[in-house]
Structures are given as structure tokens and as C-alpha cells.
Amino acid sequence: MPVTAKIGPSILNSNLSNLGGECCRMIESGADYLHLDVMDGHFVPNITFGHPVVECIRKSIGDDVECEVHMMVSKPEQWVKPMADAGANIYTFHLEAATEPQQLIKDIRETGMRAGCAIKPQTPVSHLIDLLYTQMSDVVLVMTVEPGFGGQSFMTDMMTKVKTIREKFPSLDIGVDGGVSLKTIHHCAQAGANMIVSGSAIMKSQEPDQVIKQLRQIVQEFNQDSIKH
């Protein structure tokens, strides 16, 4: 069963003084979903925003647009219900921060959200695969930079993780996050990623609709080629 290419602009790279308007601009430009980075200053050094801002975003964009909250926090269990109440659709926690990831996935699903699990570059992919064999998530997210820091280069060697996951789970939504642009998307698509988080490459472009369109086309092309072979 082929997976669907989905492009999610990372709104942390937007004009934060006009966050609702920026989210609407991305939707109008063809975004498949919005990627919202939540940082607590503990799991990662920076602080961004929490569920009150997510609730405001939901009010600005309406009910039909999918929002993924990427929870770069030290206690992901604590924020499941507040984020569900705020209108998040996908709750992606970090495997490194979860004390009971199997139960956390179940708790996320009980709220009606889809459950996502992310891993940092230093985390072996085997740790994630072991989790998926015991409790399957709806989404996985492979970090292609160290979370919480800006201005990093795309880590091409993380694509071996994506490829390994895709080989074992052909229909799973696999995301990549960090340094993804038109210059690096081919690596992601060829490895088997289908959920593409992209920040400045989309947000800072004069033609974000064209960037989103091209990113999606490249992922779709590699997806079709993999089906043929």
C-alpha cells in the first residue's frame, strides 16, 4: 500500500508576531499539515510555546487542517490532554523522554489524536523499531538535525534510519525534520520518508506554494518508483 506524500511547514520559522496569519498563508499555499515545535527549555535548551498558543492557532485555521505538535519536552505524558483539548491532531513525543512509551501511545490515541514517536540523531534506530514491534505508533519522526538548535546542516547519514524503518513498515507514515529543502529532499524521498517537515525553505520563500508543490512531487515520484520495483 503506497504512502501519501505530506508536506508540513514548520511554523516556528514564520513571523511569530502574526502566527495565525502565517498558518493560514501556509494552508493557502498548499500545506498538507502544520508542524508545531513545542520546546520546554529542559529536553532542549530553547523555549517556544505551549497548548494556549496551539489553541489560538486552531481557532485561526478552523477545524479541517491537521496539526502535528512535536513535543520536545522532558515530560511528554504531562501534556497529552491539554494538547488534545487545544486541537492538536498528531502528538509526537520523543522516545528519549518517555518513561513508558507503549502506554503513552495508548494514552494519546484515547484522546482521539494520532500518536507519533521521534528520535534524535544519536538514538539508534533499533530502539524505535523495538518499540514499534511492541506498540505501533501512527507516525515516526526521524530528526535530521539535533532538536532545539537552529542553523544546522541536514544529516544525510540519518537516511539509513529512514530506509531501515521503511523496509520493516511499508505503510507507516515516516517523517523527517531538520534542514529539509529542495536541495536535500531527494535523500529523504529516496530513503522512504513521506511526511516532510520543512521550515525556512518554505517559510522564507517568495513562492512557498511552489516549494511545497515541488517537495510533494519529488516524494511522490520516488514513492511510485519504489512501488514499480
Query: pLDDT (tens digit, 9 = 90+) per residue, 28-81?
Result: 999 999 999 999 999 999 999 999 999 999 999 999 999 999 999 999 999 999
Residue 5 has pLDDT above 80, yes or no: yes
Three-state DSSP class for residue 9? strand
Residue 2 has pLDDT above 90, yes or no: no
Residue 229 has pLDDT above 90, yes or no: no
Query: pLDDT (tens digit, 9 = 90+) per residue, 114-166?
Result: 999 999 999 999 999 999 999 999 999 999 999 987 668 999 999 999 999 99
* pLDDT at res. 225: 72
Which parts of the chain fold into alpha helices (H)? 19-28, 51-61, 80-86, 101-110, 125-134, 159-168, 185-191, 200-203, 208-228
Query: pLDDT (tens digit, 9 = 90+) per residue, 163-221?
Result: 999 999 999 999 999 999 999 999 999 999 999 999 999 999 999 999 999 999 999 99
176 DSSP 8-state letter: E
Q: Is 68 within 8 Å of 36 (Cβ atoms)?
A: yes
* pLDDT at res. 173: 98
Q: Which of 32, 40, 107, 177 is catalytic?
A: 177
CB count in 10 Å sphere of residue 32: 18
Q: Is 194 within 8 Å of 173 (Cβ atoms)?
A: yes
Q: Which of 32, 37, 40, 107 is catalytic?
A: 37
Q: Is 192 within 8 Å of 1 (Cβ atoms)?
A: no
* pLDDT at res. 152: 82
Q: Known catalytic residue: 37?
A: yes
Q: Known catalytic residue: 225?
A: no
